[in-house]
Amino acid sequence: MINQTYIDDKKVKDILTYISGMRHAEQIRMMFLCSLNGMRSINFCYLQIKDVYNPDESIKDVICLDENKNKGKFGENYYLNSQMKKEFREYLKFLKSKDNELNPDDYLFKSQKLGKPYNRVSISRLFSNIYKKFNIHGASHFGRHLFVSKLVNSGVNICLVQKLANHRNISTTQRYFNYNPQMLSKAVENIKV
């Protein structure tokens, strides 16, 4: 299915502002940012401290997930830019405010009631409800579409985008790309005679 919706940076900031007023805002914000960094809900719902943080509490450059935390039977890598590293540093402060002694096997995002990781259905429902507030049809996977679109729009080679999105087939990556009339107008401005 091709998602025809594209949201700009201002709308993303509006969504983050909305999230900041929600219960469990820190967790929801970080999950939302993970989705915008190309992760699937199966990836971030099972993220553990050891997946993101080194033993010295520095942030890893790449989150390497095995097949148990991924779709299909493959491991995947998610590269973190400086902004995501900064967000994870802030999130670590939040985690430490809850529990001074963090266990590397602890999950980053846990249900307050059960102490277990959120399940994917709950995450999808949560994201869907957030997007509805902004008249956007989408769920947790929508962030991946934005991730791919932003990379393509910034001129990143589609083969690199495919690798960053962890798609096996480039046609999947092409289906994720969202566009709008402003992008099309901007694209033709690149043609000079």
pLDDT tens-digit map of 55-76: 999 999 999 998 888 777 788 9
Identify whether 74 is part of a domain: yes
| Higher per-residue pLDDT: 39 or 111 | 39
Residue 136's domain comprises 9-141
73 contacts 67 by C-beta, under 8 angstroms? yes
Identify whether 153 is part of a domain: no
CA–CA distance, 138 with 111 (Å, rounded to integer): 22
Identify whether 121 is part of a domain: yes
Residue 36 confidence (pLDDT): 93
Task: Count structural domains, the chain.
Answer: 1
Spell out the long-range contacts of 128-133 with Cβ–Cβ below 8 A and sequence spacing 24 or more. 130/15, 130/18, 130/19, 130/28, 130/32, 131/15, 133/18
The residues that bridge with 3 in the sheet, in sequence order, are none
Identify whether 128 is part of a domain: yes
Identify whether 167 is part of a domain: no
Residue 107: give its domain's CATH number: 1.10.443.10
Least confident of 5-14, 110-119, 178-187: 178-187
Query: What SS3 state is found at 71?
Result: coil
CA–CA distance, 91 with 24 (Å, rounded to integer): 12
pTM to 2 decimal places: 0.86
Average pLDDT of the residues in 6-35: 92
Identify whether 160 is part of a domain: no
Query: Given pLDDT bands bounded at 50, 70 and 90, which one contains residue 16?
Result: very high
| Higher per-residue pLDDT: 69 or 24 | 24
Identify whether 169 is part of a domain: no
Identify whether 192 is part of a domain: no
Residue 34 confidence (pLDDT): 95
- Give the list of residues 6+ apart from residue 92 with CB closer than 8 angstroms, or none: 53, 57
